Amino acid sequence: MSAQATMQQLRQLAPSTIAQMSGVPIDQVQKLANAYTVMSRSVGVYKDASDVLRKAADDSQRLGITPSELLRYKADAAYKHGGVYKQTYEQEQAKLAALEAVSKDVQQQAEQVKSIDANVKGIQFLAGQNVKMQASLVQLNDSIQTANANAAMESEKAKNEAGDRAKRAAEADEQYRASLKKSNDARNAIDTSGMFK
């Protein structure tokens, strides 16, 4: 269809139809589009965080320890050994931090679309679930902060103890060498005086 034919058909529309189209709530469409974008992004983030939490639950059950103990052990290994332990721990923490950020975005979008006269029950249900998850994330973040602080203190304590042991060993070695030198000096003094000739 050519542009001229399209224009001709638009001219034939009833004035009431054109009036209805001029009232399209662009701001509401924009809010729904923003909500869709956030929801689409949140799917992957929720899956990643769910995988982290499910693995932690499985690991803690398999090891016969609580999830908070598992978290403490992981933080401790990350601080003490670094390498793959630290990398894995930081990746898990990043996924949980992303979940927290997306959770706030979802909540904000739910508040914005609440006023739109449309079927937003699914988004509002998700927002309700989000509130519960945010409360859990606060508790989880507290546990993470505690585990990180404890692991850092334990690591620092272990370094200090290792430094003290090394210092004591060096002092003992120095005393032994001084004693050995003194003994050798005394023996040399006796040899040079001619007592054993």
pLDDT in tens, 63-121: 999 888 888 888 889 888 989 999 998 998 888 888 888 888 887 777 777 666 555 56
Give domain status of residue 10, yes or no.
no
Structural domain that includes position 149: 26-111+133-161
Mean pLDDT of 168-186: 82
Whether 48 is in a domain gets the answer yes
For residue 98, what are the contacts with CB-CB under 8 A and spacing of at least 6? 45, 48, 49
- pLDDT surpassing 70 at residue 58: yes
For tokens 């992004």, name the residue: 41
- Total number of residues shown for the chain: 197
Share of the chain above pLDDT 90, in %: 6
Count: domains in the chain: 1
Most confident of 28-32, 82-86, 166-170: 82-86
Confidence class of residue 8 from pLDDT cuts 50, 70 and 90? low
Q: Residue 100 domain-assigned?
A: yes
Distance CA(110)–CA(31), nearest Å, equals 10
Whether residue 193 is contained in a domain is answered as no
**What is the pLDDT, as a whole number, of residue 84?**
92
How many CB atoms are closer than 10 A to CB 89? 22
pTM of this prediction exceeds 0.85 = no
> Residue 123 in contact with residue 115, Cβ under 8 Å?
no
- CA distances from residue 124 to 33, 115, 164, 167, 178 in whole angstroms, order as listed: 16, 11, 59, 63, 79
Is residue 59 a part of any domain in this protein? yes
- Tell me the C-alpha distance between 54 and 179, whole Å: 62
pLDDT of residue 194: 56
- Which residue would you say has higher pLDDT here, 135 or 104? 104
Given this model, what pLDDT does residue 115 score?
63
pLDDT on residue 64: 94
CA quadruple 85, 88, 91, 96: dihedral sign: negative
- Asked whether the predicted pLDDT for residue 51 surpasses 50, the reply is yes
pLDDT of residue 111: 74
In a domain, 196, yes or no: no
Residue 26 has pLDDT above 80, yes or no: no
Q: What is the pLDDT of residue 87?
A: 92
- How high is the pLDDT of residue 197? 47
The answer as to whether 185 is a domain residue is no
pLDDT class of 136 with cuts at 50, 70, 90? confident
How confident is the model over 148-177, as a mean pLDDT? 84
Give a yes or no: residue 71 inside a domain: yes
Q: What is the pLDDT of residues 151-161, one digit of tens each?
A: 888 888 888 88
